[in-house]
Amino acid sequence: IKDEQLNVHSNGAAFPVLEKQPFIIGVAGGTASGKTTVCNMIIGQLHDQRVVLVHQDSFYHSLSNDVLEKVHEYNFDHPAAFDTELLLSCLGKLKQGQAVSIPNYDYKTHKYVDPPRKVNPSDVIILEGILVLHDPRVCNLMNMKIFVDTDSDVRLARRIQRDTVERGRNIQNVLDQYAKFVKPSFEEFILPSKKHADIIIPRGGDNDVAIDLIVQHIHTKLGQHNLCKIYPNIFVIQTTFQI
């Protein structure tokens, strides 16, 4: 810490001037579990804060034409499908209060398109995506971790609807991709990441009671978070609970 960042207490002891860092919330869960709905419901109730929503999907690797020729053999549900180094760098900068440029990913072409999205520093940053609780380095940046737990038959039904209507896929491709990659990767990588969550929400966005409790909890945590910035010696004990 540089000298100019130190204040001097009346007893002569120097202490750092602490800037308020953003509060980072991770929202994970299987495909079409309702992660985005949960995030939007939380954002809708955090009126008094500047909140930004970041999608892990923005950090999918942009595919080369060679890979695109065999796209049906590509596993979009594997951790290696994401540029986690870029995600870490962007999240780290946002945590330091810097603006970042985030890729604009297109699900139809599997590539980045222009222009990238500029994300300004905010009080609360919500990161949502299937694997946001998988990498411990990403988890370590979070102040609160949520897992949206929706039945797999509900998720598959939503996924068929969404991919055929919004992502330009046909039903047979959606079912083949689900059986070959989506379901096995859910079982291998996404479901085990649930153990890292502080809060587990059954039924996703249909669970109004859980959203209300989470928003109350976020307000409490934001208060404690800001207090911890001023009084760094106060420890907050965090527990895992299921609503």
Binding site for ligand CTP (CB under 6 A): 29, 31-36, 57, 60, 76-77, 107, 110, 128, 130, 182
CB of 60 vs ligand CTP, minimal distance in Å: 5
Nearer to ligand CTP, 161 or 216 (CB): 161
Pairing verdict, β 100-106 and 199-202: unpaired
62 and 111 Cβ atoms separated by less than 8 Å: yes
209's enclosing H/E stretch is helix 208-230
Nearer to ligand CTP, 35 or 145 (CB): 35
Nearer to ligand CTP, 60 or 147 (CB): 60
Query: Beta strands of the chain (E only): which ranges?
Result: 6-8, 14-16, 23-29, 51-55, 100-106, 111-119, 124-128, 144-149, 199-202, 241-242
Nearest in space to 1 (alpha carbons), one of 13, 12, 17:
17
CB of 92 vs ligand CTP, minimal distance in Å: 22
Nearer to ligand CTP, 23 or 76 (CB): 76
CB of 177 vs ligand CTP, minimal distance in Å: 6
Nearer to ligand CTP, 32 or 127 (CB): 32
Distance CA 22, CA 222 (A): 9
CB of 89 vs ligand CTP, minimal distance in Å: 21
Nearer to ligand CTP, 110 or 194 (CB): 110
200 and 243 Cβ atoms separated by less than 8 Å: yes
CB of 176 vs ligand CTP, minimal distance in Å: 11
Distance CA 51, CA 121 (A): 9
CB atoms within 10 A of CB 30: 28
CB atoms within 10 A of CB 18: 14
Alpha carbon 173 to chain centroid distance?
27
CB of 35 vs ligand CTP, minimal distance in Å: 3
